[in-house]
Amino acid sequence: MSSENDHDRVMKEARDLISRERATCLWYIREDYLPTSESQIISLLDKIQRQGDRATYVQARRLKEWLLQNSSAKSFS
């Protein structure tokens, strides 16, 4: 079972990745746009997977899979 700390850590890591990749993978997204919900973050991670290099793809996939797995687990609790 995952803890709230794990969730917070993954959300922070995802936001950091989004910030780092904004200029290369997300250049078409408004600069002042900050995702707040899991669904917004998952959507941007998906875009990063499609636009980024292999290392970025792997990192975005790992974060997205964790968020999807844990949001599904919450819906069944």
Q: What are the domain boundaries of the chain? A: 4-76
7-28: per-residue pLDDT in tens? Answer: 999 999 999 999 999 999 999 9
- Averaged pLDDT for residues 21-43: 94
pLDDT at 1: 44
Instruction: Give the SS3 label for residue 63.
Output: helix
Measured CA to CA, the distance from residue 37 to residue 24 in angstroms comes to 22
- When the pLDDT of each residue in the chain is averaged and rounded to a whole number, the result is 90
pLDDT above 60 for 74: no
59-69: per-residue pLDDT in tens? Answer: 999 999 999 99
Tokens of 5: 């700390």
pLDDT at 4: 77
Residue whose entry in the numeric block shows the structure tokens 């998906």: 46
Measured CA to CA, the distance from residue 51 to residue 45 in angstroms comes to 10
